[in-house]
Every structure is written in structure tokens, then in C-alpha cells.
Structure 1
Amino acid sequence: MQTTTLSFENIHHHGELFANLLRARHEWFIQHNHWDLPQALGMEFDQYDTPASRWVVVHDDDGQVLAGNRLTPTTAKCGIYTYMIRDAQRGLLDTIPSNLLYDKAPVCETVWESSRLFVSHHVPAARRRRVHGQLVFELARAARELGATNCLTLLAANWPRWASRVGVDMTAMGPVMDIDGVDNQVVSMNFAESLH
């Protein structure tokens, strides 16, 4: 099992890994979760997959994607869009309620957004915890390397059950909301204590 953080600067060194990540996202979010998202050539993408973002990928030696995540700076801007949580709060997204945060969405160099987090359903139950832990470990390492002290993410509201298992200090940043029949909540992951 390997972890790779992709960017537009290094994507050419990793062959089909980025395309495989977008294919795995298509399988998870469109085929498995039945979300209505943009797609082409069997890949899922959206307006936040820009050169400003990074993609954390857990994969095997053959490039099969086991888990993934996208990191986007809260300072990003592309046309009318910034980052998913802020754009939802601004009423730009139909699928996420605008009251998802207690306070105004931050725009700060040390705060990034973590989105499109998934573990492939092809990962056997006996390996899921390890794969998920590796994803979160690499997410934290990549975030720290980018100068982030915190990452905002919209997660299933059962996050308190597993946050301590993966060693991340998490704080609720908004109310629990039903989105497509699943309770979700915006959470801040604190990486400040790990910065040196």
C-alpha cells in the first residue's frame, strides 16, 4: 500500500493515478452513492478540481485506488467559486444546505478544505481501518506541508466514533444536517499541534 499526494506540478510522474482517482470517485460517489455530479469518460470531477487543489491517494503498486481525498485552499477562487463548504454557505450549491456552519466560512492561508474523502468499497472490511488511517495520516502530512493548521470537511456525523482511532483532533463547526438521507456535519481537523 502506498500513499501519494498529487498536484498539477507532479501529476506527470504518476502515470494514470490521477485518472484512476477520478474513476474511483465516479464509482463511489456516482455509482455507489447515486450523487448527481459532473462526469466524463467514466470519471467524476467538479469545479474544485483545479491546479489550486491537491489529491491524496492511497493505492496499491498497480495504481488501483483504495482511498482518496481532495485538499483545496480556502483562499482559492475560480470564477464565482471558492471552495465547496463556503460556496454552499453562499447559496451557490443546490445539494448542500447553506446553514452548514455556525459562523462565516473562513478564508485563510492556514485553513484548507478536505473534500471527496472515500474508501473504496472494494477494500475488504479487515483492511478498511488501516486504509482509512493511512489516508488520514497522509492528509495530515500533506496539509502540514502546505502550511495548514486546520482542514474543514463535511463528514458523516458519526465522526466522533472514529476520530480518536485515527489520531485527529476534530471539532464540530456546524449542525448535524440530513443530506440525501445521511446525517452530515462540518468538522475542523486540527493539525496545529503537529506543526514544527
Structure 2
Amino acid sequence: MLTTTLSFENMHNHGELLVKLLKARRQSFIVQNNWDLPEAEGMEYDQYDTPASRWIAVHENGEVLAGIRLTPTTAKCGMYSYMIRDAQKGMLESIPSNLLYFEAPVDPDIWESSRVFISNTVPAKMRTKVQAQLMNQLIETARELGAKKVLGLVPAVWSRWIGRLGLLAEPAGPVMEMDGARVQVALMDLDHTHH
């Protein structure tokens, strides 16, 4: 099992991995979760998939098992910044604006994680290992990018597994119901995470 961080600068070194990641995102979010998201040629994408972002893929034998997108909270592309901030500003119909307890940060030390998924093809006995690899790569990549914290809209059960993985995070917003799933914004402190 491999874990790769993709960017616009290095994607040419990894063949079709980014395409496979976006196809796996489509399968997870559009097909399985029935979310109304943009798609083209079998891939899910949105306005935050820009050169400012990074994509992490856990993959094996040409199949993407899990993925996550990292975007700096300083990102700007037209009228958009990053998903959590734009939701708070009321720019996204699908995400409530009251998702944070505080004003969404614009800070080079804080990155946003979004589009987190583990493929439903991953057997139950492998899910914890895949999840650990995904989170370990998230931490390593975020630190390499200069992040001290990561803000993410995640399943509300995050507190059950985050400690098992040696991570330190705190709730950054209320638990909400979105598209049939209970979610919450969490803020992970990389300075106090043991990795």
C-alpha cells in the first residue's frame, strides 16, 4: 500500500493517479452518498481543486483506497477562498453558514482538509490501516507545507478514532446534519500531534 501527495507540479510523475483519485471521489460522494456535486468524464471536482491545493491518495495495485484534499486558508480563486470559509460566508448552498464557532481563519499556518473519503471497496479489517496511512500522510504533507493546524469538516464520529491514531484535535463547530450524515468541523493541532 502506497500513499502519495499530488500537486499540479508533480502530478505528471504519477501517471493517472489524480484522475483515479477524482474518479474514486465521484464514486464515494456522488454515487454512494448521492451528493449533488460537479462531475465530468467520471470525475468529481469543484472550485477548490486548483493549483493551490494538494491531494493525498492511499493506493494499491492501481486502485485508490482513500483520499483527502488540502487547501491553504490563504487560497483565492475568483470569488472563492476555501470551502469552510465560503460556507461561513453563505456562498455554498449545501453547507450551513453556522458551521464554525469562530470566524474562518485566513492564516498561512492553517490549512483546510476536505473531500476526505475511504473507498467502500476497502474491507473492514483494513479500514483502520488505510485511515492511519491517510492521516499520517496528511500530517506529514501539512507540516511540509508549513501548516501548524488543519481545519476540516469531518464525520461527527471523528473523536472516536482520532486519539487511536495519536492525533490531537478539538471541535471547531457544532455537530450538524448534512445530506443524511452527521458532520462537524474539527481543528487538528499539528504541534501537539505525535508523528
Q: TM-score, normalised by structure 1?
A: 0.97
Q: Is the 8 A contact 2:152 2:186 kept in 1?
A: yes
Q: CA deviation at 1:44?
A: 0.1
Structure 1 residues 62-113: Cα deviation after superposition (integer angstroms, max 9, x where no partner): 3210000000000000000000000000000000000000110000001000
Q: Which residue is 1:9 aligned to?
A: 9
Counterpart of 1:79 in structure 2: which amino acid? G
Task: Return the alpha-carbon distance in structure 2 between the equivalents of residues 91 and 108 of structure 1.
Answer: 20
Q: CA deviation at 1:193?
A: 3.2
Task: Return the alpha-carbon distance in structure 2 between the equivalents of residues 165 and 120 of structure 1.
Answer: 21
Once the two structures are superposed, the pairs formed by residues 1-196 of structure 1 within 5 Å of their partners are 1-60=1-60, 62-193=61-192
Q: CA deviation at 1:194?
A: 5.4
How many pairs align? 195
Q: Which runs of 5+ in 2 are unaligned?
A: none
Q: Is the 8 A contact 2:132 2:165 kept in 1?
A: yes
SS in 1 for 2:71: strand
Q: CA deviation at 1:183?
A: 1.5
Detail structure 1 runs of 4+ shifted over 3 Å in the superposition: none
CA root-mean-square deviation? 1.3
SS in 2 for 1:95: coil
- Identical residues among aligned pairs (%): 59
Q: Is the 8 A contact 1:157 1:184 kept in 2?
A: yes
Task: Return the alpha-carbon distance in structure 2 between the equivalents of residues 147 and 192 of structure 1.
Answer: 11
Task: Return the alpha-carbon distance in structure 2 between the equivalents of residues 30 and 181 of structure 1.
Answer: 13
Q: CA deviation at 1:156?
A: 1.1
Task: Return the alpha-carbon distance in structure 1 between the equivalents of residues 17 and 110 of structure 2.
Answer: 26
SS in 1 for 2:67: strand
Task: Return the alpha-carbon distance in structure 2 between the equivalents of residues 63 and 106 of structure 1.
Answer: 37
